[in-house]
Amino acid sequence: MSAALTALIACLALLLGLGAGWWLARRQVLAEARAESRAELATLTERARGLAEAQVRADGLGAELSMAKARLAAVQTQLSAERQQSAEKIELLQQTREELSNQFKTLANDILEEKSKRFAEQNQASLGHLLDPLRLRLADFQGKVEQFYDAEGKQRSALSQQVGQLMDLNKLLGEEARSLTNALKGSNKAQGNWGELILERVLEASGLRRGIEYHVQQNHTREDGSRAQPDVIIHLPEERKLVVDAKVSLLAYEECVAAETDEARAIAQRRHLASVRAHIEGLAARNYQQLYSLKTLDFVLMFVPIEPAFMLAVGADEQLFMDAWKRNVLLVSPSTLLFVVRTVAHLWRQEQQNRNAQEIARRGADLYDKLSAFVGDLEEIGKSLDRAQKSYGEAFKRLKAGRGNAIAQAERLRELGVKPTKSFSQNALEGALPDPDLLPTGPPEHSGLPPLSG
């Protein structure tokens, strides 16, 4: 019995322990659930409060939006009305301006026409006498301007033909150079003379005039007393000079042309290049550009009269041009010299045209000054005429104004018996006499006054 009771008690105790543990666990779970519920409730409450505040703000913003829309509509309505008013004002101003402009033009034309008519009637003879010299000067000025532009147009139209002629001449010069090669092989003097001849023919073909735009074989003295004789001196505008010296390298060139093998041709080409370089060094040593008596440019032109020989030397050494330029020597052939001298000729034409233009400008300025002075004299004449007209009106008004004016008194004397040989015009009497009905109409003796003797 005691064992069974003990077991029962143990079971009850176990059950009570399990119940108490479950109850405690349940209580803890419920506590945690209540805590979570309270936290969620607090969160939901906070969210509800936020939603309520957001709703309040949304309602406020909606009200502000409605008010803004209303203000915008009012502003747009006002702006539309102001735009319409501005457009109407602008249109009215434009109409007013056009009307004023038309009225001003009409008034100005009327005044000008009246003044011109009066001035022409009163001064036609004197104006014709004054304007004849001016008309002649204007005609002369117009003729010079037309002549200047006509000459410039003709020069431009003839330029293309002259360039074609120069190219034909260059071709002819090349053919003549080849035909003279054999004749010139044996004499350096002959080669030099031939090169100078080709140089002068190129200058003549360019339009430059010997003795005017260029000189040949002029003697000059250096500062040290030595003599210098360039082949050609080309004159440039502003008193500048350009020295040209012809150099012929023919023998090595002919050997290069006649060579049958590449090796022989290369050897002859090197000899030809060496000959050209020797000419460059010799020309640079003469310092033609430093002649104290000439205002020369800083370089001289070395003219190679045979175009293929020039091309052969340039093709053999790409530095030939720059090396010559460093020595103040510029290499030219017949084709390149043609363009150089044509440019010089064009510069002289431009110089002459500039001088003509300056003369035209000077004459135009003189004409303008004289015309300005003449217009000033005309204005003074107009002012004098206006003053005379005003003085005439005032003087005539004094004769006619007032009850006792001079014309009325004189006319009264005539009515009283004075017998003048002349009478006033109807225009003079208008406004000078009182009402004709108030004047006595009877003979002088009815006036009660004795007649005046003549």
308 lies in the same domain as 428:
no
417 lies in the same domain as 308:
no
222 lies in the same domain as 324:
yes
pLDDT tens-digit map of 282-337: 888 888 777 655 666 778 888 888 888 888 888 888 888 888 888 888 888 888 88
pLDDT tens-digit map of 143-182: 776 676 676 666 666 666 666 666 776 676 666 656 555 5
Which amino acid is present at 79?
Answer: L
What's the CA gap between 120 and 208, in Å, rounded? 56
Closest to 293 measured CA to CA, from 205, 194, 226 = 226
Pick from 351, 377, 409: which residue ends a domain? 351
What's the CA gap between 454 and 452, in Å, rounded? 6
The reported pLDDT for the residue numbered 342 is: 78
184 lies in the same domain as 311:
yes
Q: Is residue 341 part of a domain?
A: yes
Q: Is residue 317 part of a domain?
A: yes
332 lies in the same domain as 452:
no
Q: Is residue 282 part of a domain?
A: yes
Q: Name every residue whose Cβ is closer than 8 Å to that of residue 305 and which is 6 or more positions away in sequence.
A: 173, 177, 194, 195, 198, 199, 246, 248, 333, 334
236 lies in the same domain as 320:
yes
Q: What are phi and psi of 264, to 5 degrees?
A: -65, -35
Q: Is residue 63 part of a domain?
A: no
Q: Is residue 2 part of a domain?
A: no
What's the CA gap between 330 and 260, in Å, rounded? 32
Q: pLDDT-based confidence at 450, cuts 50/70/90?
A: very low
For 77-97, give one letter per residue: b (16+ CB within 10 A) or e: eeeeeeeeeeeeeeeeeeeee
406 lies in the same domain as 278:
no
* Residue 294: CB atoms within 10 Å: 20
pLDDT at 239 over 80: no
187 lies in the same domain as 318:
yes
Q: Is residue 17 part of a domain?
A: no
- Give the total number of structural domains in the chain: 2
What's the CA gap between 221 and 228, in Å, rounded? 6
pLDDT tens-digit map of 369-409: 777 777 888 788 888 888 888 787 777 777 667 766 777 77
273 lies in the same domain as 341:
yes
Residue 30, H or E segment: helix 2-184
Q: pLDDT-based confidence at 440, cuts 50/70/90?
A: very low
SS3 for 76-114 is HHHHHHHHHHHHHHHHHHHHHHHHHHHHHHHHHHHHHHH
pLDDT tens-digit map of 413-432: 777 777 788 777 777 777 66
Task: Identify the CATH number of the domain in which residue 322 sits.
Answer: 3.40.1350
pLDDT higher for 397 or 234? 234
Predicted TM-score (pTM) above 0.95: no
Q: Is residue 153 part of a domain?
A: no
Which amino acid is present at 350?
Answer: Q
282 lies in the same domain as 420:
no
What's the CA gap between 309 and 303, in Å, rounded? 11
194 lies in the same domain as 338:
yes
Which amino acid is present at 197?
Answer: L
Q: Is residue 104 part of a domain?
A: no
| Average pLDDT, rounded, for the chain | 74
416 lies in the same domain as 302:
no
Domain that holds residue 436: 401-454
